[in-house]
Amino acid sequence: MGIKKFKPTTPGRRWMTWLTYEELTTSTPYKPLTIKLAKHAGRNNTWRITVRHQGSGHAKKYRIVDFVWSDKKDIVAKVETIEYDPYRTAFISLVCYTDWERRYVLAHKDMNVGDKIVTAETAPLKSWNRMEVWNIPTGLQVYNVELLVWNGGISIRAAGAYGTIVSQEWEYTQIKMPSGEIRLVHKKCYATLGQVSNLDHSSVVIGKAWRSRWMGKRPQVRGKAMNPVDHPHGGWEGRSPIGMKAPKTPWGMPALGYKTRKRKKTTSRWILKSRSGKLMV
C-alpha cells in the first residue's frame, strides 16, 4: 500500500494525495452481491434535512458484506478478490466457500488472493480467521467484533482499526477498543483475528472541494457568517467574534468538551474503562 502525490500544476493538486490501490485485484464488483441504495441527502421521512452537509455524490452501488457468518461455521473459504468498497473506508474481499457460495467479507491488511479463511468456535490462531473471543489469547489484535451474541460484527470495522484482547475473566472478555475504551464482551461473541485493511486511509489529503462533493459532502458555512435566527454565533458585521465564552451548536448545546452520551444508557454497564481512562465500575 502506498500514497501517490502529484506535481503542483494547480492549487488543488499541490497537496492532494491518492491511494495507489496496489492490493486491489479487480475493479468490477461481483454483481449478485450489489444493490442500488436510494439517496436521501440527510433527509427524514418528511423530507426535512436532519443531517446537514449531505447531498449529491458520485453514483455507486452497495456491496452486501457478511458481518455475521453464522451459517458458515466450520466451512473453509478461499479468497478470490480484494476490492474497493465506496460505502466504507476498508477494503473488502470476495470469498468462495467449499459449497460454492460467494460472499463479501472485510479484508485483512495482509490478505491475498488464494488465502483460506474459516469461522469456528475454536478456529486455528491465524490472521483473518474468525472465532469466539474466549479462544483468543490476550494481547492479540481483533476486528469486526460482535458486542451481542449472534448479532454480527458491529464494532472495529474502519480502515486500519483493531482492538486488543486484554484479559479473559469469568464469562466475559475485556477488549481494548481503538478509542482506548475497555469494554466487556461475552465470550460467545465472535471476532476476527488481525487488523482491518487500508492502513493509509487516514493519510490521504483531499486537496480540493470537488473531491469532497464526489463523496456526498456539501460545503459547511461558519456559524458567525449566518444571521442570528440561523445560528447562535450569527449577526454583527464582518469577521466579528461569536460574542460568548464557548462555541455552541446551531441548537444551542455546547460544542466543545460536552458529553453527549446519556448518563443512564443501558450499555454503559459493559464499559469497564472509558476512553479518557476513567474507571466506570
Question: In one letter, which amino acid is 216?
Answer: G
Phi, psi dihedral angles at 70 (to 5 degrees): -70, -35
Cell matching residue 162 = 483493531
Question: pLDDT exceeding 90 applies to what percent of the chain?
Answer: 82
pTM of the model: 0.91
State whether residue 224 is helix, strand or coil: helix
Q: Express each pLDDT in 95-124 by its tens digit.
A: 999 999 999 999 999 999 999 999 998 888
Q: Express each pLDDT in 130-154 by its tens digit.
A: 999 999 999 999 999 999 998 999 9
Cell matching residue 43 = 433527509
3-state secondary structure 99-132: CCCEEEEECECCCCCCCEECECCCCCCCCCCEEE
Instruction: List the domains of the chain with CATH numbers.
Output: 3-201 (2.40.50.140), 222-281 (4.10.950.10)
Least confident of 39-48, 151-160, 268-277: 268-277
Contact assessment for residue 154 and residue 91, using Cβ atoms and an 8 Å cutoff: no
pLDDT at 108: 96
DSSP code of residue 74: T
pLDDT at 1: 67
